[in-house]
Structure 1
Amino acid sequence: MSPHESAARLGVLVRHNLLLMVREPGPLVSRMVLPLAFMTLLRPLYLAAQGRTAGTEQAVVGTLVTFSLLALSISGSAILTERLGRTWDRLRGTPLHPVEMLVGKAIPVFAALLAQQLLIIGYGMVAFGLSVPHPFLLLGVLLSWSCTLLGLGALVGVLVRSMGELSAAYDIGGMLLSSVGGALVPLSVLPAWVADAAPAFPGYWAARGLRAALDGEAHTAVEACGTLLGVALVCGALASVRLQGRSSRLVAL
């Protein structure tokens, strides 16, 4: 099977999934607007506790990690909707490889996730004077974190069996991963066991990498990027394997 044929099929999938996302813009718009309101309301609390520079950084990083995790709903629902509509079964009967199916879903979602994060960073810079002295280092962390979110979203999308399960997964999981990872509250003020467990959660590495990028700590930022990309690869591989088996099908009760 030639790379040209694969690229052509992938292009069709990307256009189709982009059209589906544009037709239902509600979830995407809410994930863009709510973080800005959240950051505006909570920033004074962080300023009072940490000072202007550290408080602004905490508000931006905490908001970005929390709401990008909640945006897993966009990735997960894109896959689950196809499964509920039995579209996966029809696609499985075509020459499409499961990886192509995932990538075709992933590209529009990746663009949406990255746009959300850039919007939060841009709003922090314009409205609150957030300093970004190393933009390329920060972009590297954002791209790595977006890949992780895609992998997590794809895995959740092929594991859950209903929209209710998906909603519970990203609501509970998103808040848990961001909180335990030190995004909303600095780990220094949380119980010691939380700080010990935090490195096991991707939200910790996202927050750590973002802070390092904003502070110009290249080594720490690169370490965080490597960890996040490793999580993305593992989750994406598990999702692909799941799609190849019969377990990805939803059987009507």
Structure 2
Amino acid sequence: MWSGESVRRVGVLIRHNLLLMRGEPGPLVSRMILPLAFLALLRPLYAAAQGEAAGTEQAVVGTLVTFSLLALGISGSAILTERLGRTWDRLRGTALRPAEILVGKAVPVFAAMLAQQLLVIGFGVWVLGLRVPHPPLLLGVLLCWSCTLLALGALLGVLVRGMGELSAAYDIGGMLLSSLGGALVPPGALPHWVAAVAPVSPGYWAVHGLRAALAGDAATVAEVCGVLLVVALACGALAVGRLKGRSGRLVAL
């Protein structure tokens, strides 16, 4: 259980990291604008191939999953910049715990990732005519998917050795995971072998869950949310473990 002092320390870290994000808005702004441009260009192609309603849904779901995976860099760089700047060294020996550091970093990034996804959904609804008959189901999937992205990004941030490796990891990894998951190409059009391995990709579960939420399939949404949260917990635990030394304190990475 976290004490009141832990909550206070995390609150200070959250405010500090919000200021850092506001000071360097370029990456965040690009992650907000590019998906909308991509969606506007992609939707006519899918609409022509699948029909208006199905094409719009495919375009929105595919864009959301693809660009949210590419936004892993926001989470990863938030941690990696601290490592490269030796900020972790200054935190060694303080009362801060690895989980507190990660939460302080995570909350602003989580808010940014969720905002990106809501912006794509909002654009789909208000501009492209996407129907969202079950908003609570959709919000549940978005929250769980954001948790998964956050944990994946944090794990990347503690594993890679530099910005070049991080960029390659989220660019290549993001496109592979979204493609395997059926974000850019409808699942039925994928080769058989791709369909067989698709469930190993978190992107597959995100696509599956978003489609189920739009269709009102609560049972599938619950299953998908469970899988995404398990992935998030596993990646988060690995990230925290990587930040722990033998004594349980933060280690210099």
TM-score for the superposition, normalised by structure 1: 0.97
Per the TM alignment, residue 92 of structure 1 is displaced from its structure 2 partner at its CA by 2.5
Distance 1:54 1:189 in 2: 14
**Which residue in 2 is equivalent to 1:62?**
62
**Which residue in 1 is equivalent to 2:26?**
26
**Which residue in 1 is equivalent to 2:89?**
89
The unaligned stretches of length 5 or more in structure 2 are: none
Equivalent pair of 1:138/1:210 in contact (CA under 8 Å): yes
Distance 2:236 2:115 in 1: 21
Per the TM alignment, residue 192 of structure 1 is displaced from its structure 2 partner at its CA by 0.3
Per the TM alignment, residue 48 of structure 1 is displaced from its structure 2 partner at its CA by 1.1
Equivalent pair of 1:125/1:131 in contact (CA under 8 Å): yes
Distance 1:66 1:108 in 2: 21
Task: Report the AA paired with residue 4 of structure 1.
Answer: G
Per the TM alignment, residue 90 of structure 1 is displaced from its structure 2 partner at its CA by 1.3
- Count of residues in Structure 1 that have an aligned counterpart in Structure 2: 250
Please say if 1:234 is aligned against 2:237: no
Among all aligned residue pairs of Structure 1 and Structure 2, give the percentage whose two residues are the same amino acid: 76
How far does the alpha carbon of each residue in 1:146-183 deviate from its partner, in whole angstroms, 9 at most, with x for none?
00000000000000000000000000000000000101
TM-score for the superposition, normalised by structure 2: 0.97
Equivalent pair of 1:73/1:153 in contact (CA under 8 Å): yes
Distance 2:245 2:22 in 1: 30
Per the TM alignment, residue 248 of structure 1 is displaced from its structure 2 partner at its CA by 5.8
Task: Report the AA paired with residue 6 of structure 2.
Answer: S
Distance 1:77 1:241 in 2: 18
Distance 2:145 2:217 in 1: 17
**Which residue in 1 is equivalent to 2:118?**
118
Q: Evaluate the alpha carbon distance shift between residue 248 and residue 176 of structure 1 in structure 2; reply closer, same or farther with a 3 A threshold.
A: farther
**Which residue in 2 is equivalent to 1:144?**
144
Please say if 1:43 is aligned against 2:46: no
**Which residue in 1 is equivalent to 2:173?**
173
